[in-house]
Amino acid sequence: MKQRTVAAIVLTLLLPGAAERQGFGQAASPDDVTRAIVTVDATHPWVDSGLAVRKGERLSFRATGTIHWGAHADQVAGPEGHDAKAGKLGAGGLIGRVGYNGKPFPIGGTRAPIAMPKSGKLFLGINDFIFSDNAGSFVVTISRPGVPLPPSGRGM
C-alpha cells in the first residue's frame, strides 16, 4: 500500500512537467499562439488551424504547395487557385472560415494581413465542393500581428 501511495505521488509530480516538455496537454491557449503551421489536405473540406481568433484581428498567411482539385490533369492549383483573376480566388485555392458555420473567405497567396470576420476557431480549406477526387496539400504558416513570418526560401 505504501509503494502505491509513493508511486502515485511521484506520477502526480512528474506528469505535469512531462506533459509540457512532450507537447501533451494545453501548455498555452489558442489565443496565446503567435504562429501556427498547418497542412491543408485537399481531400478534407476543413482543417482546424488550432487557433482561436477575435473579430477584427489581423493574421498573416504564407502558403506553399500544389493540389489537384479534380480528376483532369489540368485541374492543378497553387494557393491562389486555378485560373485566378485579379481580386478573385480560383478553383482549388486556399480559403478560411471562422467557426463551424462561418462564411468562407479567400486567403490565396496573399501576404497582406487579413482581418478576421468574427471570433471563434479558424479553419482552413480548399475552394472546391468535391473532395474525393482531390490530391496534394498546402502548407500554411499563420502569424499574429507583431510576429514576423520567416523569410521564404522560394517564391510563389
Confidence of residue 86 (pLDDT cuts 50, 70, 90): confident
DSSP type of residue 98: E
Write down the pTM of the prediction: 0.73
Residue-wise pLDDT tens digits, 50-85 = 999 999 999 999 999 999 999 899 999 999 999 888
Angstrom distances, CA of residue 31 to CA of 27, 96, 136: 12, 17, 29
Place of cell 504558416: 141
Q: What is the pLDDT at residue 145?
A: 72
The predicted pLDDT at position 85 comes to 83
DSSP 31: G
Looking at the chain, the whole-number percentage of residues with pLDDT higher than 70 is 72
Alpha carbon 156 to its chain centroid, in Å, reads 18
DSSP 146: T
Q: What is the pLDDT of residues 95-136, one digit of tens each?
A: 999 999 999 999 999 889 999 999 999 999 999 999 999 999
90: nearest Cα among 133, 42, 127: 127
| Mean pLDDT, all residues of the chain | 79
* Rounded Cα–Cα distance for residues 141 and 49 (Å): 10
Q: Are 13 and 5 in contact (CB under 8 A)?
A: no
Residue burial 82-110, b: 16+ Cβ < 10 Å; e: rest: bebeeeebbbbbbbbbbeeebeeebbbbb
